[in-house]
Structure 1
Amino acid sequence: MTNETVTHTILKANGPQLKEVDDNVVREIPLTVHYNREEIATLLCSPSQTEELALGFLLNEGFIRVPEDVYELRQDPADHLVWVEGKPCLLQKELMSKRFVSACCGKSRASFCFANDALMVKPLTSSHSIPLKEAYEYAAFLQSHLPLFQATGGIHSGGVGYQGQAILTSYDIGRHNVFDKLSGSAFRSGSELENRVIFFSGRVSSEILLKVAKMKVPILIARGAPTDMALSQASALNITIVGFAREQRLNIYTCPERINV
């Protein structure tokens, strides 16, 4: 965790008292992604799983589809650069010009490839279901496996689960980056996603729902609340959204047949 945080001296208030203390603050870096020698985007992110983030970003934005599309990946950790050489993308110019992407949920992310989203996202046909007990296990995992959050309070986290076990995990200052890192990790390892569960520490916006749909994961379990647009999209795309998942409590918003008592 040394590389993930920096220490700042701050003033901490407790009632009328002020005390000077050292505080851990989460790091943020600009990661510039190149595809076939073209600068595609600069992602503001945590300095972990940066190769997975680059691959997941390119995958979710339609530049690559299968591992064979990637010929070479190189990284310069000092200057936060990633170069990917791969199968020529016929729509590369149309997909996006050079962008600077905020780690938060600004409009830059939502407008990335809106036209391309319609081509990439289809209603899911998975009939995968899980017992309610398993859903609680993923909620408990989020609560108990967040040492960096406990140290800084400054990150989101998520994972891919199967039969109550976390098979992939990621964390980042940016909500979207968590999903791109999970996508990139699965892409690299050849992990199955279509009959898995994603669990996530944050809220579920329409942008997050689209990430899940592109990953073809049928069940999303989140600690936070969904938006109405996310629920509308989830219903149309046959995705189960579970929100406010904490300890032995949760809300099932869409496609409840996938959660069994």
Structure 2
Amino acid sequence: MPNDTVTHSILKAKGPLLAWEEDTVVQEVPLTIHYNREEIATLLCSPSQTEELVYGFLLNEGFIRFPEDVYEIRHDPLDHLVWVEGKPCLLQKELMSKRFVSACCGKSRASFCFANDVLMVKPLTSTHSIPLQEAYAYGDFLQSHLPLFQSTGGVHSGGVGYEGEVLLTSYDIGRHNVFDKLSGSAFHSGLSLENHVIFFSGRVSSEILLKVAKMKVPILIARGAPTDLALSQATALNITVVGFAREQRLNIYTCAERIIV
């Protein structure tokens, strides 16, 4: 398992005093993905859960639909390269065309501006609901189960829950990578997320909301704030968005009927 942190010597100030200390910071690596011998993207990410990240990215971008669509994955951890052999994708050039994706969600989207979003994102029909106390528990889980965040302050994290049980977790320097890792983990293990909950440490942008919609998850619980475009999309796609979930407090922004007392 890769080491997600490195140690740096820093000059730390506290009031009028300065002192040299050793500090722990998170690693950031550029992971370049090739699909059927074509370079399709470079993701800036944490060096852990690489295979899950690749599966989730290919699934959410429309390259694959089933686990058997991936024939082989080869990973060079030293040069941060991944080669995937898989089912031919007829729209491969149109879907990606060597897009570069940053750690902080890349280019912001004013609407569904990529063809694969329009094709893959549909309004959800799930009527799944959860008790309010369960929502509180997911919001608090990240705060109490985040040793890497507590030691570095440099990663986002998330998880998948069902009936109060945490089934999957992930973390990464990039918000969108957290969701791709969760999606890839569920996809590879054959877990359907249609009646599950995703909880997340950060804010909810429109791109994050689209990730959730592609995963067909009806409830998103975040410790941060949503944007207005994300809420507009959540209403149209029938997704419950909960924000500022921490310490027995939260805000329910859309589709409130899924959170019950």
Q: Same fold (TM over 0.5)?
A: yes
Shift of 1:109: 7.9
Over the matched positions of the two proteins, sequence identity in percent amounts to 85
1:106 deviates by 3.1
Unaligned runs of 5+ in 1: none
SS of structure 1 residue aligned to 2:244: strand
Q: What's the CA shift for 1:98? A: 1.2
Task: Provide the C-alpha distance between the structure 2 equivalents of 1:133 and 1:175, rounded to a whole number of angstroms.
Answer: 25
Cα drift, residue 108 of structure 1: 7.0
Count of aligned positions: 261
For 1:243, what is the secondary structure of its paired residue? strand
Say whether 1:89 aligns with 2:89.
yes
Counterpart of 2:154, as a letter, is G
Amino acid of the structure 1 residue aligned with 2:131: P
2:10 maps to what in 1? 10
Report the counterpart of residue 77 of structure 2 in structure 1.
77
User: What is the correspondence of 1:1-261 to structure 2 with a 5 Å cutoff?
Assistant: 3-107=3-107, 114-261=114-261
Which amino acid letter does the alignment assign opposite residue 165 of structure 1?
E
Q: State the distance in 1 between where 2:33 and 2:111 align.
A: 18
- Which residue identity does 2:99 align to in structure 1? R
| Equivalent pair of 1:198/1:217 in contact (CA under 8 Å) | yes
Aligned equivalents of 1:107, 1:97: Cα separation in 2:
15
Distance in structure 2 (CA, Å) of the matches to 1:156 and 1:109: 21
Q: Deviations over 1:59-87 (max 9, x none)?
A: 10000011121111111112111111111
**How far is 1:15 from its partner?**
0.8
TM-score (normalizing by structure 2): 0.97
Contact 1:240 1:255 in 2 (8 A): yes
SS of residue in 1 equivalent to 2:3:
helix
Hey, what's the Cα distance between the residues in 1 that align with 2:110 and 2:58? 15
Letter in 2 for 1:17: L
Change (3 A) 1:113 1:51: farther
Counterpart Cα distance in 2 of 1:28 and 1:259:
37
How far is 1:104 from its partner?
Answer: 1.1
Distance 2:164 2:247 in 1: 14
Q: Tell me if the contact between 2:2 and 2:47 (Cα under 8 Å) persists in the aligned partners.
A: no
Q: In the aligned structure 2, how far is the partner of 1:108 from the partner of 1:237?
A: 19
Aligned Cα root-mean-square deviation (Å): 1.6
Q: Displacement, 1:113?
A: 6.4
- Could you list the runs of 5+ residues in structure 2 that have no partner in the other structure? none
